[in-house]
Structures are given as C-alpha cells and as structure tokens.
Amino acid sequence: METRAISSVVDAIAALPRPTQRPLMVSIDGPSGSGKSHLSAMIADQCAATVIAMDAIYPGWQGLQPALDILATQVLHPLSQGTTARVDTWDWTASRPGLPREIRWDPATVIVIDGVGSGCRAARPYLDLLIWVTADEFTRRQRALSRADWRESTQWQNWAEQENRYFRDDDPRGAADIHLITDH
C-alpha cells in the first residue's frame, strides 16, 4: 500500500472532530484479501488506535451476517454511550466461542474496526469515518490464501458468497467516505 494513501487516511482521521464522550470510530471494510488489516495496523501505529478485528467477532465460517448485529449492539452501541464494550470472541482453531474481550476507551482513543462487515448499515450511525479498501480478485485471493487460517480452509467460495450478499444488501462501498485500491 502506498505511503501516500496511508498518509491521506491518517490526515483524514486527524482532521475529524474529536468526540469527548466516546471514542472516534473508524471502519475499514472491503472484500477479503484487499489489505484492510495492513491499513488498520498502519493506522494503529500512526494514530495510537485500538483495532477491533471482525475476525474475532464472526461466529465461525457462516458468521458474517450474525456478526453485523454483534458489532452494532455489543461493540459500537456501548462505546457510543461512553461505556466499556464486551464481546464474545471466536476461537478459529477450536471452531467454537472463545474468551470474551472488553474494549475500554478514553477521550483520546481512536477505535478502528477492521474487517468485512465493519461498515454495515447497522454500524454506520456510530461511525465517524468509513473506508472502503479493495483490490482485484486475483490479488485478493492470493493474499487471503497465504494466511494460515485460509490455507487450511476450503471456505473461500462460501465466504465470498456471504461477502457478496452483504455488499449487495448493505452497500458499504457506496456509503464509504474514502476509497482505496491496493492492487500493488
């Protein structure tokens, strides 16, 4: 991902008015393998942000749709009210619910929600910025299949179908404030 693109995103975050009663909330959405996690890590490093990975919220390989409600009700709503969020995580290795996670914040906190579904319709009222990240399908597939959790899985097609339904029904791309293409 180009340094210039990352700098423009960091500048956009820095320019946002800072809420005082809740954290600043940024969504990085887009299809699998598009570079969302890489961008999230760069933002976390440059903005001292806390990253919430959707991968920890999805309840398994069939979990994209259920995760949308979990994100809005168990994570974003409590944070928007100035309280600690508590969410059950998913243990991908054991293929079962994992340990709960508490997400605390202070007025200087930037929260980055990283993953497919983070810009869903139910999340948007809580978001200060929605970033859409994409790449061509070949690049995305190669990136995704290079990760250990995908290499051992035959779930690419199943997950792609869930993504396509979500993209069609919620249109996070159309709602995004910033669009990035990460083919390179």
Inside any domain, residue 120? yes
Q: How far apart, in Å, are the Cα atoms of 60 and each of 80, 94, 111, 144?
A: 26, 10, 23, 16
- The pLDDT, as a whole number, for residue 151 is 53
Residue 76: CATH number of its domain: 3.40.50.300
Is residue 1 scored above 60 in pLDDT? no
* Structural domain includes residue 101: yes
3-state helix, strand, coil in the chain (%, to 5): 45, 20, 35
Q: Point out the least confidently predicted range of 1-10, 60-69, 142-151.
A: 142-151
Check residue 53 and give its pLDDT: 94
The residue ranking higher by pLDDT, 20 or 16, is 16
Instruction: Please state, in angstroms and rounded to a whole number, the distance separating the CA atoms of residues 86 and 143.
Output: 31
Q: Return the CA Rg of the chain.
A: 15
Question: If you average pLDDT over every residue of the chain, what do you get?
Answer: 89
> What pLDDT is recorded for position 152?
55
Q: Per-residue confidence at 41, pLDDT binned at 50, 70, 90? A: very high
Q: What is the mean pLDDT of residues 139-154?
A: 72
9 domain-assigned: no
14 assigned to some structural domain? no
Q: Give the torsion through C-alpha atoms of 171, 174, 176, 182, to 10 deg.
A: 90
Q: What is the pLDDT of residue 148?
A: 59
Domain contains 145: yes
- Tell me if 12 is assigned to some domain: no
Strand 96-103, strand 85-91: pairing: antiparallel
- With respect to residue 64, please indicate whether it lies within any of the assigned structural domains: yes
pLDDT at 2: 62
Residue 25 lies in a domain: no
In terms of residue numbers, what domain contains 117?
49-181
Domain tally for the chain? Answer: 1
pLDDT digits (tens, 9 = 90+) for 99-135: 999 988 876 689 999 999 999 999 999 999 999 999 8
Residue with tokens 């903005």: 47
Residue 146 has pLDDT above 90, yes or no: no
DSSP-derived secondary structure for 77-121: HHHHTTS-EEEEEEETTTTEEEEEEEE---TT-EEEEESTTTT-T
pTM: 0.91
The whole-angstrom separation of Cα 184 and Cα 170 is 27
